[in-house]
Structures are given as structure tokens and as C-alpha cells.
Amino acid sequence: MLSIAALQAVVTATPFDGEPSDAELDAIEVEMPLILADVELLDAVINTLDRPVSKLDERRIRRARNRVVAARRDLTNRTGLTLADGAA
């Protein structure tokens, strides 16, 4: 009887170790200001879920949203500069 085993080499030569690569860690580090701003906004919104929103809460949420927008703008501008430098 003939063997049905695969005759080709394994497709994935290196096993996945479950850890992020250096490039992935660098990307996370670049995005960290945006991540922290999003967490701050989320904290501000969570604090207002079980009680009425006060004027102070409104200001806190508005400022947190502004920080998120600023962080996104900075990240987009930084990414655009990196692409422009790499393309030149």
C-alpha cells in the first residue's frame, strides 16, 4: 500500500513564538500617544455612565477628545513625513 504522507517541505519554516517582532514593537511605540489619549477619553466617558454629566465632566470629555484628535493629527503627519522621506 502507498503512503499518503506529504512529499513537500513544511510551508512555515519558522514556528510562531507568540511574541511581537521588533518592527511591531516600534509601531506600537510610535502609536503610544494616540493609545494613551484614547484610554484617557474612554476613562472620562466611563466615569459618566452611571451618573448625570456635570459641567466638569463635559470639559474633561471635550479635552480628552481634543487630545485624541491632536494625537491622530500628529501620528498622521509623522507617518506622512516618513513616507515622503522613504519615497525620495
pTM of the model: 0.68
Residue in 30, 32, 37 with CA at minimum distance from that of residue 82:
30
Residue 70 CA to residue 17 CA, distance in Å, equals: 36
What would the pLDDT profile of 56-80 be if each residue is shown by its tens digit?
999 999 999 999 999 999 999 987 7
Residue whose C-alpha cell is 477619553: 41
What would the pLDDT profile of 35-48 be if each residue is shown by its tens digit?
999 999 999 999 99
Grid coordinates belonging to 40: 484617557
Q: Residue 79: what pLDDT?
A: 75
Q: Tell me the CA distances in angstroms from 5 to 1, 13, 15, 25, one per residue in order.
A: 12, 18, 21, 39
